[in-house]
Amino acid sequence: MSYHLTLHAWSGTDPTASGEKLAKVFRLDPAVAIRIVQDIQAGQSWTFGHTISNEQADLTVKYLHSLGFKIDLAPVLPPDIPAIKQTETASSMVEESSTDVATSDVFSFSGTGGGLFKIFIKNLIFTIGTLGIYRYWAKTNVRKYLWDHTSFRGDPFQYHGTGMELMRGSIRLVGLIILVSVGIGVGWYMEILDDEAIDFLTSFLNIMILALIPAFMVGARRYLLSRSSWRSVRFSFRGGRKDATVLYIKGWLLSIITLGFYWPYFLVEKETYWRNQSYFGDKKITFDGVGKDILKAYFLMGLLVIPTLGINLFWYQAKLQSYFWSRTHFEGATFRFTATGKEWMLLGFGNLFILIFSFGLAFPWVTTRSMKFTMKHLFVEGSMDLDHVVQQMQDSGAFGDVMLDAMDVDMDIG
């Protein structure tokens, strides 16, 4: 059976955000969809111009309800036999058109550069006033703002980390550095260690720290996910530090030995590790990428990077992100990332020019611009079963997060 769908009321608070989501569901122009939401808010009703199937109706109604819409579904009576041929083509087109969208879930970001700028100013004043101690709370404030303004199915994510946790992790790091430094200093003072031995120990420690970066990354990822939730259910990361260290050292060495030919396989192995060990509640996220699938894009990138002065890297980035997300699955659904190379280029150069002409002051706008870009192009396709997700707490300290922050290591995965 098919239905006519009518929206006759809306109880949301952000017509623009709801309009953008409505546009994706029904494949409308965003400006048109926003006007529809405003009309509904003013007391008018709106009926979708095509019918939707019984299977599509259930998912569509649930999603629209989550956005605050009140919906009427009117069953379509079977048409007369002579009319079947006349409507057959149109009906098939409608069903084909609505199948992808009705089974898609979208992300959104509602933060603004102005809102984040206020937080940056507050963070700057308090960090200076406390001689840098407030920096841990500053980092937490930014994360809370970004999480709170990122939504899936109309519900925001939440960040539960605290500045105190980050400060405790920093104290551990400082204590470790002091302990090692005092040990080396005492050895030199008592003439147990000469200058050459100290140079050797310093170099050895630097190499050890570099080798331990993957272990610190695991600690940071555990902390970040364990402090993140959606609909009161926490995320978690359950990968081992040893596995990450072996994976990265092997990948670095093989990439050097093979003159870079192993790099695409290493990229996919990294994504496999980080994504396959991530959980939402008690349910695991899965990734099934294969290194050879991105070989062509990798070699093409290498051939064109000099002739294009690096411009082709935007298209390479688009290819990688599209592939990585298309191989990421959760509870029967698959992620999609639709940004093109041209869109990546416009984002990158746009952000660069904004930072240059604002002397860096517009960094909050660059951050929110990038977040909106990511959420605009990220979708979940398929029927994702979230009814049986069970909360499982995986506690983790902030030492790894602080260590990576001190070493300026990027933890942006995927």
CATH at 24:
3.30.1390.10
Asked if residue 96 belongs to a domain, the reply is yes
CA gyration radius for the chain? 26
Q: Which of 401, 412, 389, 397 is nearest to 279 (CA)?
A: 389
Tens-place pLDDT, residues 178-193: 766 666 565 555 556 5
**Euclidean distance between CA atoms 229 and 165, whole angstroms:** 17
Residue 94 in tokens: 């409608």
The answer to whether residues 1 and 40 touch, using CB atoms and an 8 Å cutoff, is: no
Per-residue model confidence as pLDDT tens digits over 217-256: 998 899 999 999 998 889 999 999 999 999 999 999 999 9
pLDDT at residue 206 in the model: 72
43 occurs within a structural domain: yes
281, part of any domain: no
For residue 170 the two structure tokens come to: 């920093």
Could you give the strand order of the β-sheet that contains 283-284, starting from the edge strand earlier in sequence? 283-284, 278-280, 233-237, 228-230, 155-159, 150-152, 104-109, 378-381, 333-337, 328-330, 286-287
Mean pLDDT across 56-62: 73
| Helix (H) / strand (E) containing 15 | helix 15-26
Residue 408 lies in a domain: no
Give a yes or no: residue 67 inside a domain: yes
- C-alpha angle 145/278/251, rounded to 5°? 110
Provide the domain limits for residue 84: 2-102
Does the pLDDT of residue 198 top 70, yes or no? no
Residue 164 maps to a domain: no
Look at residue 317 and tell me if it is in a domain: no
User: Domains in the chain: how many in total?
Assistant: 1
Over residues 125-156, the pLDDT tens digits come to 999 999 999 999 999 999 999 999 999 988 89
Burial 281-304 (b: 16+ CB within 10 A, else e): bebbbebebebeebeebbeebeeb
pLDDT at 338 over 80: yes
Q: List, for residues 81-97, the tens digit of each pLDDT value.
A: 444 333 343 334 334 33
Q: Percent helix, strand, coil in the chain (nearest 5)?
A: 60, 15, 25
Instruction: Please count the helices (runs of H) and the strands (runs of E) in the chain.
Output: 16, 15
Q: Taking all residues of the chain, what is their mean pLDDT, rounded to a whole number?
A: 81
The answer to whether position 262 is within a domain reads no
Give the model's confidence band at 389: pLDDT under 50 very low, under 70 low, under 90 confident, else very high: low
- The total of other beta-carbon atoms located within 10 Å of residue 399's CB is 21
Contact 135, 127 (CB under 8 A): yes
- Overall size of the chain counted in residues: 414
Phi, then psi, of 339 in degrees rounded to 5: -65, 140
Give the torsion sign (CA, 407, 413, 215, 123). Answer: positive
- pLDDT tens digits for 164-178? 988 887 777 666 667
3-state secondary structure of 306: coil
Q: How confident is the model at residue 403 (pLDDT cuts 50, 70, 90)?
A: very low
Nearest-10 Cα torsion for 259, 323, 350, 34: 180
Share of the chain above pLDDT 90, in %: 48
Residues 6+ apart with CB under 8 A from 71: 5, 6, 7, 8, 61, 64, 65
Alpha carbon of 278 to those of 10, 127, 324, 391, 405: distances in Å? Answer: 36, 33, 15, 14, 21
